[in-house]
Copies of this chain bind each other. A is one copy, B any other.
């Protein structure tokens, strides 16, 4: 059995004995239609299993597709999942559907994905920019009225709205919390690549907190990791140093899991830890994990509402919205610093 063609508007019209336009009117509640016609049309639609072809409609109507294109680095990272959920919740009221794909933080994949979204004429484009990606090619689209939003990190080559967390201030506060509990040897386990915006900002926050406390910056206390395994190894490496850190700051949620896992494995409860980004079981750990929590929901909502405002014609200049992080003290940052 060959894949038989899907029924079209014309098929429905023929079935009922009316014109295509009449069917269109009934389905879109455009113009008037007699009760009887309406009923017959609806019946035929159900009988044939007719499903209007949205692509054909959009092409005729000329407007953008009622979709939002979202590019994230990793669909499996719960942080981006939470952000995506928030975006979806916000745009759904406007009848917009989320299209979501992952770039794996690869500029080429990001480009391929955005091109696909653009070719589908999404109404809104929200991108977590990959490291090394250039976004100049989006300029003409933005000029043409397409809202383009950078999320979590600023983009390169295009002046447009950006929504970011208060990475620097958040990291500063987290590290200051450790300093306040007497620590002077503070390790920083950041993510990769080194050029990643969030990493740079958080590292800057770390350094400013050290500076405030007159603690010299020691490069050997800064290590990097791309995934949880790396982070475990990096943690172990730090703790093997001749003059090891007594406290650790995790640059993101994945790294945090690595640190926590490694400390648990090696039964090191004496090391103080503060992590950037909350983890689901943070409060159940021993000690409970103190974190600088990002507000994923607000990040998503801010991105979505900003985009919707643009869609509604707001042509004011590009904004950068900084969403506050929040230090949640749970205990792991208060492990006593050893006496000097």
Contacts and interface: CB of A to CB of B under 8 A. Distances in A.
A239 interface: no
Contacts of A65: 55
Interface in A279-313: 279-281, 283-286, 288
Contacts of A88: 75, 101-102
A69 to B, nearest CB: 10
A229 interface: no
A116 B95 CA distance: 10
A98 interface: yes
A78 interface: yes
Contacts of A100: 75, 84, 98-100
Contacts of A77: 81
Interface string A39-64: 00000000001011111101100000
A136 B249 CA distance: 53
A226 interface: no
B284 A53 contact: no
A340 interface: no
15 contacts: A1-B315, A6-B141, A49-B137, A49-B139, A49-B140, A53-B59, A78-B81, A84-B100, A88-B102, A97-B113, A257-B280, A261-B284, A263-B284, A279-B280, A285-B285
Contacts of A284: 257, 260-261, 263-264, 285
* Chain A interface residue number, banded: 35 or more
A84 B76 contact: yes
Contacts of A80: 81
Contacts of A108: none
A4 interface: yes
A139 B51 CA distance: 13
Contacts of A141: 6, 49, 51
A145 B81 CA distance: 31
Contacts of A145: 2-4
